[in-house]
Amino acid sequence: MAFVNWLKRHLVVIAGLVTLGYLLLPNIVVTVFSFNKPKGRFNYEWQQFSTDAWRDPCGVADMCGSLSLSLQIAVWATVGATVLGTMIAFALVRYRFRARGAVNSLIFLPMAMPEVVMAASLLTLFLNMGAQLGFWTILIAHIMFCLSFVVTAVKARVMSMDPRLEQAAQDLYAGPAQTFLRVTLPIAAPGIAAGALLAFALSFDDFIITNFNAGSTVTFPMFVWGSAQRGTPVQINVIGTAMFLVAVLFVLAGMVIGNRRNRQKA
């Protein structure tokens, strides 16, 4: 009876942890199989422990090239989408203007559209314009679909900002430019950073839109896709594991620093 009661009380926790396990299971598999030494071309079955792939992560033809291309595109897409999106977010929150509803819809629609539809229609445009598919078409597409997400993230932050802070800055002799640089931007920074991070992740990991608009250029997700047909090198798992670890360490380090700073000040 005591056990049943305990179970009842912790049912939510158990169910939540099961879901968390479901979310993490593939990452565990990816990590474990990064130490595999597969027999054939595919790395789906466990054979024997080996650190070969970790010692030679770029040992597969073209993989690291595609990885660096993906990183480049992600960086530029992040910059572009963050700048344009932040501007739109400020305009939406801080100013009244006509056609507000239309602007809001135009920003909402890309998020409510299956990727394959955007991918296909963008390709139609590029084909009609006779554009050379490659780096630039990928970058254009990535900025396009990241933009709305940046707007949403920045808008939330700017909306929760007290307009009196900017008025206080003006009251304290800061002109419009100074007010923006010294008060508005620093306070909106977490929202902008969140938007930028999201844009980076979306761009780096995008496959569907890229697959349609890349031509013969190969980004990292496209390399993985291709290898799923031709044979999956263990190095893919090495990259996947490394990215996961880097992300976790990055966030943990940020939290530790943040905590320490708070403790010092308190």
CA dist 251 and 31 (Å) reads 19
Q: Nearest Cα to 61, choosing from 226, 266, 251?
A: 226
Q: How far apart are CA 70 and CA 194, in angstroms?
A: 20
**16-45: contacts with another protein (CB under 8 A):** 16-20, 22-27, 29-30, 33, 44-45
Q: What is the DSSP track for 31-48?
A: HHHTTB--SSS---S---
Select the residue interacting with another protein from 247, 253, 256, 257 (CB under 8 A).
247
- Contact between 124 and another protein per CB under 8 A: yes
Letters for 177-196 (x = contact with another protein by CB under 8 A, - = none) are -xx--xx--xx-x-------
Residue 3: CB minimum distance to another protein, A: 18
CA gap 259, 54 in Å, rounded: 33
CB of 24 or CB of 51, closer to another protein:
24
Instruction: Tell me if 253 contacts another protein by CB under 8 A.
Output: no
The pattern of x and - marking residues 43 through 82 that bind another protein according to CB under 8 A reads -xx-------------------------------------
Tell me how far apart the alpha carbons of residues 31 and 27 are, in angstroms, rounded to a whole number: 6
CB nearer to another protein: give 56 or 190: 190
Distance from C-alpha of 213 to C-alpha of 56, rounded to nearest angstrom: 31
Planar angle of CA 67, 32, 247, nearest 5 degrees: 50
Q: Which is nearer to another protein, 56 or 189 (CB)?
A: 189
CA 98-101-106 angle, to 5 degrees, is: 110
Q: Which of these segments, 47-55, 57-65, 71-79, 203-211, binds another protein (CB under 8 A)? A: 203-211
Q: Which one among 159, 251, 253, 256 touches another protein, defined by CB under 8 A?
A: 251
Residue 108 interacts with another protein (CB under 8 A): yes or no:
yes
Residues in the chain: 266
| φ/ψ of residue 36, rounded to 5 | -90, 160
Residue 51 CB, nearest distance to another protein (Å)?
19
From the list 148, 146, 120, the residue with the least C-alpha distance to 201 is: 146
7 is a contact residue toward another protein (CB under 8 A): no
Kindly identify the residues of this chain, within the stretch 137-166, that bind another protein according to CB under 8 A: 140-141, 143-144, 147-148, 151-152, 155, 162-165
